[in-house]
Structure formats: C-alpha cells, structure tokens
Amino acid sequence: MDAVDRQLIQALRENGRASYAELGRLVGLSGPSVTDRINRLEQAGVITGYRATVAPAALGLGVTALVGLQLSDAADHEDVAGRLRDLDEIEDCWFIAGDDSYMLKVRVGDVDGLEHTIRRLSGTKGVARTRTTIVLSTKWENRVGALPEEA
C-alpha cells in the first residue's frame, strides 16, 4: 500500500459515495486507474465494505448503552459470541481485556427495551454478570481518523 492508496482509503472513509472520477481528481489518477487500485484494496481485504450511516433516533432507537459482559469460568467464548450475534439490539461487539470479556454497544427504543435486552443478556448461557452504562449524548461516532504513514 502506497501513499496514493492511503489517500483513496481516507477519501472513501470520508465519502463512500465518491465517484472514481472524483477520487481520481483528488489523487491525480484516471478513473480506470482508481478503479484498479480500489479493486486491489477490496481483494486484499483492506476495504471490507460500504454502508450508509443512519441516525439511530430517526429509526426509533433513542437509547444507546454500553454493556460489559463477565463470563462464567466454564463459558465457551465462541459459543457466547454466537448467541450474542442473534440479538438484533447489539450494534457492536468487542472481545476485550479486563474484568469484562465482551463490550457491547446496544441500541433500543427506550429504557424498557434496554431492561428487556439486559434480561436476555443475563440469561444467555455463559454470561455471569452484566454491567451497563447508558449513553447520555453522543459527541461523535464513526470518527474518521488519519491513517498511519508508510513504514
């Protein structure tokens, strides 16, 4: 990956709908050259997909919470992860170091929905304890940071 690839990735992170012609103007390449580079980045697994970013509240998901899960000693981590995948309320799931094994970002319509989700999480085989933090406001999300320079 060279500096041009990094510029393309940064531009796509900021605007995933940019045309190849727009991207080409930005990096000084033709549209077909940009297409080739982006195809290579996709095939290499650097670019893993494209998606729309939506306003959760506009979808009726007004409550966001971070839920830490502490697993029982006998829990099978992969089995728990598979069970968590079945809960649509979970937007993100991270396997983490520390007191908790998993950290989840949960989005629900209201506090009753959060209570229901926490009860389901607590009843999940392998989960010993949950710890919930309710998000009061979001200052930023999906922040596009700078890519590291070439080594």
Domain spans, the chain? 3-43, 56-134
CA distance 70 to 103: 9
H-helix segments, the chain? 3-14, 20-27, 31-43, 77-85, 111-122
Residue 44 carries which DSSP code?
T
To the question of pTM greater than 0.85 for the whole model, the response is no
User: Among 12-16, 32-36, 83-87, whose mean pLDDT is lowest?
Assistant: 12-16
Cα dist. 25→37, 121, 133 in Å? 14, 49, 45
Q: Mind listing the pLDDT tens digit for each residue in 5-28?
A: 999 999 999 899 999 999 999 999
Q: Could you say which architecture CATH assigns to the domain 56-134? A: 2-Layer Sandwich (3.30)
CATH of domain 3-43: 1.10.10.10
150 compared with 26, residue with greater pLDDT: 26
Q: In what order do the strands lie in the sheet with 102-108?
A: 90-95, 102-108, 63-71, 127-134
Residue 120 is predicted with a pLDDT of 97
Residue 148 is predicted with a pLDDT of 76
Mean pLDDT to the nearest integer, 97-109: 97
